[in-house]
Amino acid sequence: MFKVFHVDKDTYITDKVIRSVRSSGSNFGIAGSLNLFKLYGATSSGTLPNIELSRLLVHFDLTQLKSLVTAGKIDFTNGSFWAHLQLHDVYGGQANPDNFTVTVAPLSKSFDEGHGKDVVYCSDYDVANFLTASSGIPWLLSGCNQSGSVGSSCDYFTGSVATSQFFVTGEEDLDVDITAAMVALLTGSIPDSGFRIALTPAAETNKQTYFVKRFGSRHAYNETKHPRLVVGFDDSIRDSSQGMTLDSNETLFLFSYDHGAPANLSVTGSNCIALKMRLAVSGGFFETAFTGSQHYSGINPVVGVYSASVYLSSSNPVIAAALQSSGSVLKFTPIWGSLNGAGTFLTGSQVTVSRPLRGSTSLSPRRFVVTVTGLNVQHSADESPTIRVNVFDHTSPLVTVTRTPVNSPGTLQGLATDAFYRIRDVDNDTAIIPFDSSRGSTRLSSDSDGMFFSLDMSNLVIDRSYLIDIMLLVGGAPQYYFAASPVFKVVAAQ
């Protein structure tokens, strides 16, 4: 799961000196940019040089994220969960600082966005501003500058929930990992008040000027430059039914439907279903049984989806004898039923089970043909279609490759062990949803029909066109298949 959450308020606060007066009450709530800067000596108070600076405030609408957590579709305690805060540079050829660090920390109190937009004379007075967070509620220390540990009285939290990014040229986007802060927020350890983005205390107090780093605000004309909170979680389903290997831990899935909609069987929960793997042998059948459960995504069971872990050993006497007579491939029939054996839910299609690939020469990775289906010319922003990814070996086009070794008569096929998708903007080639092979938020799922994923169109900016790229891990190395899909456009929800 890759999910984008949009900013619902942002602004910046400053004590910039305008005509010898500190503009501490100025507000920039509907300005098109979030301006981060520090001025040293641009103005003075008598003979003393002034320090003038700004700090950014952003807040995201987390209603849907909290609902996904409550529904058990995201488990933020799982190691695959991550969250990034992203601001996009809107450098326009003006002067900008370089070699500086930006800190990002959760706010302890909410702020008002305000209606100001005068970024030149700072003449729009509203809240939030340098003195006040929201109507009638001042910062504990002017400029939202009282730091503290989680649980203390402060303007913003430091410690493990805070993070930072170093800017080399000053033209980079801000992209910081705020997973620790989001976990603290979702557990209730810190409030959902947004984030403070500022220069480091050392930079704010030294005798150097940093002017000016500009990020796009939520009011920027170009929506692709708006702030984003991006959350990832590996909720992929990886079914082994298109090809299993002996002496390996495999997983088989059962998908249950009622009138086309996912529906539970008469059994639910953990250890509720039996899976028999049946092999035809001379004189009858060989069967071995495994216990399965409802499949879990996050912390809750998924309606209508069951799975069982399967391990078939080549040292089993019956399997070993069958291999000796048949070669390297066996055909097992999966039979899903009740634990007491009284009823059968499904007798599936035969599953190919092969020996592990071994040989005196290394496996030469192959290039494949990758196609994507399930897309229309345009999709509404409230759609989440299931996208099918079909991978073929061009030397044997009838063979579909999933995550397991694929064998065809007389040849040794390439090995595709994993697969990921990326969504790319057609106009500017920007990866709106990048490949995530480290934590698996863009990992493809698989079932008996092949590989697939659900594409949440609300992650994408409307009135823009996109392509899907696919990455396969083949022989341990990535292979990229660009423009595997036709071009599609996202339009506003009706």
Is the residue at 238 inside a domain?
Answer: no
Based on the fold, state whether residues 336 and 406 are members of the same structural domain: no
| 85-144: pLDDT as tens digits | 999 999 888 889 999 999 999 999 999 999 999 999 999 999 999 999 999 999 999 999
* Range from 24-38, 342-356, 390-404, 405-419 carrying the lowest mean pLDDT: 405-419
Question: What is the CATH classification number for the domain harbouring 427?
Answer: 2.60.40.1930
CA dihedral defined by 124, 132, 219, 224, rounded to 10 degrees?
Answer: 150
Percent of the chain with pLDDT over 90: 79
Q: Is residue 224 part of a domain?
A: yes
Does one domain contain both 325 and 378?
no
* Residue 398: pLDDT over 60: no
Domain boundary among 354, 377, 407: 354
Comparing CA positions, the residue from 52, 8, 9, 14 lying closest to residue 144 is 14
Domain stop point among 332, 354, 376: 354
The string of DSSP letters for 148-159 reads: E-TTSSSSEE-G
pLDDT of 395 strictly over 70? no
Give me the pLDDT at residue 410, please: 29
> Same domain for 228 and 250?
no
Q: Is the pLDDT of residue 411 over 50?
A: no
**CA distance linking residue 445 with residue 451, whole number of Å:** 6
Q: Which of 175, 205, 232 is the last residue of a domain?
A: 232
Same domain, 51 and 172: yes
Residues 107 and 216 in one domain: yes
Of 297 and 148, the one with more pLDDT: 148
Tell me whether the omega of the peptide bond preceding residue 128 falls within 30 degrees of 0, making it cis.
Answer: yes
Cβ-based neighbour number of residue 314 at 10 Å: 14
* One domain for residues 227 and 314: no
pLDDT tens, position by position, 17-28: 999 999 999 999
Same domain, 180 and 300: no
Any domain includes 43: yes
> What are the structure tokens assigned to 452, written together?
């697939």
Mean pLDDT for all residues in the chain: 91
Residues 372 and 463 in one domain: yes
Count helices and strands in the chain by DSSP H and E runs = 4, 39
* Distance, CA of 182 to CA of 231 (rounded, Å): 9
Is there a single domain that holds both residue 210 and residue 132? yes
Domain presence at residue 326: yes
Whether residue 361 lies inside any domain: the answer is no
How many domains does one find in the chain? 3
Residue 299 pLDDT level (bands cut at 50, 70, 90)? confident
Quote the strand ranges of 312-395, DSSP E. 329-337, 344-347, 351-354, 368-373, 378-380, 386-393
Q: Residue 409 pLDDT > 70, yes or no?
A: no
Query: What letters, b where the CB count within 10 A reaches 16 and e where it falls short, cover 159-197?
Result: eebbbebebeebebebebebbebbbbbbeeebebbbbbb
Query: Residues 76, 8: one domain?
Result: yes
The reply to whether 164 and 292 lie within a common domain is no
User: Same domain, yes or no, for 307 and 386?
Assistant: no
Residue 308 has pLDDT above 70, yes or no: yes
Tell me if 360 is assigned to some domain.
no
Q: How far is CA 255 from CA 263, 278, 290, 404, in A?
A: 9, 20, 17, 20
Q: Is residue 424 part of a domain?
A: yes
The pLDDT of residue 200 is above 70: yes
Token code pair at residue 85: 């805060």
* Domain that includes residue 308, residue range: 244-354
The predicted model scores a pTM of 0.90
pLDDT tier, 361 (very low <50, low <70, confident <90, very high otherwise): low
How much is the pLDDT for 413?
39
Q: Which two tokens stand for residue 297?
A: 């995504």
Asked if the structure places residue 479 within a domain, the reply is yes
